[in-house]
Amino acid sequence: MRAVVTGGSGFLGSHLCERLVARGDEVVALDNFVTGTPANVAHLADEPGFDLVEVDVTRDVTVAGDVDLVLHLASPASPVDYLQLPIETLEVGSIGTMHALALAREKGARFVLASTSEVYGDPAVHPQPESYWGHVNPVGPRGVYDEAKRFAEALTLAHRSTHGVDTGIVRIFNTFGPRMRPDDGRAIPNFIRQALAGQPVTVAGDGSQTRSICYVDDLITGILAMADSEHAGPVNIGNPHELSMTELAEWIIELTGSTSTIRHIARPVDDPTVRQPDTALARELLGWEPQVEIEDALRRTIDWFRSEAQGPRLRARPLSASDTEHILAGH
């Protein structure tokens, strides 16, 4: 197969490109490097059939030759990012999705939208099944991301019903693993970075709010299962292992062997109280469920952050023009 991955140098996008290449697919990764980095896919640069193209999908998505699969992951996903880039987030969810769908329509390719559990907002139903419509504040600070993804879902289904595009939607729940940015702002990289540095681990509010966390390897397996199916979705992809933010912080402090203590900070506006996927549909339609134990996954992620802090891959300078040109050259 030949696949196009928008947001291909981001956290999830880079793992997806890696897995596609490993199974023998040709991959064209598209990214404007606003939140992603060519360094995330540098190890794929010499792989036959892999190309990284710098492009803003809100401006244009043009790919020469045949395409079998379009996987649309382009979007700021961390609150730190989409709060700093609210208009860009809305544009990539609307215009960017329109362009990616147009590419899939032109090529007769299957299209998979990476949506999010944020479409459920601060849910009044727990756990959240795909049939739940959500509880979203459209004018709150998180609304730019929530509504961008909700619009992208509606646009995807409109292209399916109007133009016959073969589409699928996955709703991604909290995911973690290697290649997350230390300054990402999300709980796990934040807690790990602070614990490894011996700093206070900052937990928002009283820490009773919950999340269900999924290791990136399992998440990518779920996305590919959806891509290889004919199902329209939406389908939740996430690990139902739910725990409070205080429990997560304490667990990370223990696993890092840190002397850090917990410090409580103000809780963000519209921060969801609970979050847990109902994954019955993923099991039924895709035969998918997470396989990696959370403690093992946290250990792997901590080891990666520790090695990044000590090794050359955590660059003291931005990628130079020559670095980027080498990676963009692909194979």
The answer to whether 308 and 183 have CB atoms below 8 angstroms apart is no
Q: Which of 82, 120, 132, 145 is catalytic?
A: 145
Q: What is the 3-state secondary structure (H, E, C) of the chain?
A: CEEEEECCCCHHHHHHHHHHHHCCCEEEEEECCCCCCHHHHHHHCCCCCEEEEECCCCCCCCCCCCCCEEEECCCCCCHHHHHHCHHHHHHHHHHHHHHHHHHHHHHCCEEEEEEEHHHHECCCCCCECCCCCCECCCCCCCHHHHHHHHHHHHHHHHHHHHHCCCEEEEEECCEECCCCCCCCCCHHHHHHHHHHHCCCEEEECCCCCEEECEEHHHHHHHHHHHHCCCCCCCEEECCCCEEEHHHHHHHHHHHHCCCCCEEEECCCCCCCCCCCECCHHHHHHHCCCCCCCHHHHHHHHHHHHHHHHHCCCCCCCCCCHHHHHHHHCCC
In this structure, what token pair is assigned to residue 19? 């897995």
Based on the residue annotation, tell me whether 145 is a catalytic residue of this protein: yes
Closest CA to 256 of 302, 215, 301: 302
Angle 246-248-254 from CA coordinates, rounded to 5°: 105
**What's at 54, amino acid-wise?**
E
Contacts of 225 (CB under 8 A, 6+ apart): 282, 286, 287, 288
Q: Report, as residue numbers or ranges, the catalytic residues.
A: 145
